[in-house]
Amino acid sequence: MTELAQVTRAQGIGQGPVKVVLGEISYRDTEFGSPLSVFIKERLREQLSRSGLFALVEASRLRGLSIEERPKAGAALAAASGADVVISGNYWDTPAGVELFVPVRQRQGDILLGVSRALLPASLLPRDIVAAPPNLERARENERIEDRIAPLSGTQPANPLKLEVWTDRGRGAIYAEGEEVVVMVRASQDAYLRLYYTDATNQTYQVFPNQYRPDGRVRGGMVVTIPAPEDRFAFRVKAPFGVESLTALASRKPLGGAEAGGAAGPFRQLPQGIRGLEVVSSSAGEGEIVRDRAVLTTIPRGR
């Protein structure tokens, strides 16, 4: 904790305890979480509280962001919560225990101030929790499939159409059983939008357009919230648990596969799973579709 405090003090942040918001703890170089992520985050929270060097601020949900803000940045999470810095982390499982890397980012400008490193001995870790997410390999395979569908919006600087998708808890968020998930999507220009949700069992559903909002046309710069307050459904976490993902596609031309709803309810299921999106992308010409992706992890209550 002293090392983290020194990093912030060296930048002249605050005179008293530094106001900090805790981001997520992810597995290795991914944005995937796990029950062990929650365990590590709680231990880190305890250490920060006991140190007297930091004032913990609860994370605010990222719902009402303006077009200028970047919802995926740590700065947005800190700004929404009124914190000076955001602390997150990634952990690697080793024979000796878990190696934890904790970057500290300043709210102003999302500047990386430094990275602290620690080893959590195996003797301090719960024996009934595995380090890796349960569906890790499948989640990685889905990422590779999506890369073949369309390039990420952020990798197309020459394309004026930009796309962002995020949840109300930011990037790589972890949700426990019974909690509700709210999704936001924004295109920089008027566009046709598709949003797909892939659960921990690798079932993929089109969640926008849907039975309640069948029109997939969206206005540029407008944040589309799913579910909207007037919608008659909610995304509530239940078993099975693991890494899940949101895939957004946008194009200035109509996209195929636009049917809203299905026999099972307001959302249409893709029989081929995430691979079915390749059919959707083929309905537009090369370079006409932009994509963005958000990952979340669901866990049982009490883990």
Of 100, 124, 148, which residue is a domain's last?
124
Of 73, 92, 124, which residue is a domain's last?
124
In a domain, 118, yes or no: yes
Tell whether 46 and 148 lie within a shared domain.
no
Please tell me the predicted confidence (pLDDT) of residue 91.
Answer: 98
Please tell me the predicted confidence (pLDDT) of residue 257.
Answer: 57
Of 62, 89, 124, which residue is a domain's last?
124
Tell whether 151 and 295 lie within a shared domain.
yes
The model's pTM is 0.85
**Regions of the chain with pLDDT less than 50:** 64-72, 263
What is the token pair recorded at 288? 């006409």
Structural domain range at position 65: 2-124
Tell whether 143 and 275 lie within a shared domain.
yes
Pairwise CA distance, residues 41 & 33, whole Å:
11
Pairwise CA distance, residues 268 & 262, whole Å:
5
Tell whether 159 and 51 lie within a shared domain.
no
Choose among 20, 21, 19, 29: nearest CA to 172.
29
Domain holding 176: CATH number? 2.60.40.2550
Tell whether 179 and 67 lie within a shared domain.
no
Question: In the chain, how many domains are there?
Answer: 2
Convert 85-99 to b/e letters by CB count within 10 Å (16 or more is b).
Answer: bbbbbbbebeeebbe
3-state secondary structure of 272: coil
Please tell me the predicted confidence (pLDDT) of residue 227.
Answer: 92
Please tell me the predicted confidence (pLDDT) of residue 68.
Answer: 38
In a domain, 40, yes or no: yes
Tell whether 140 and 112 lie within a shared domain.
no
**150-178: pLDDT as tens digits:** 888 888 888 899 999 999 998 899 999 99
In a domain, 166, yes or no: yes
Please tell me the predicted confidence (pLDDT) of residue 273.
Answer: 81
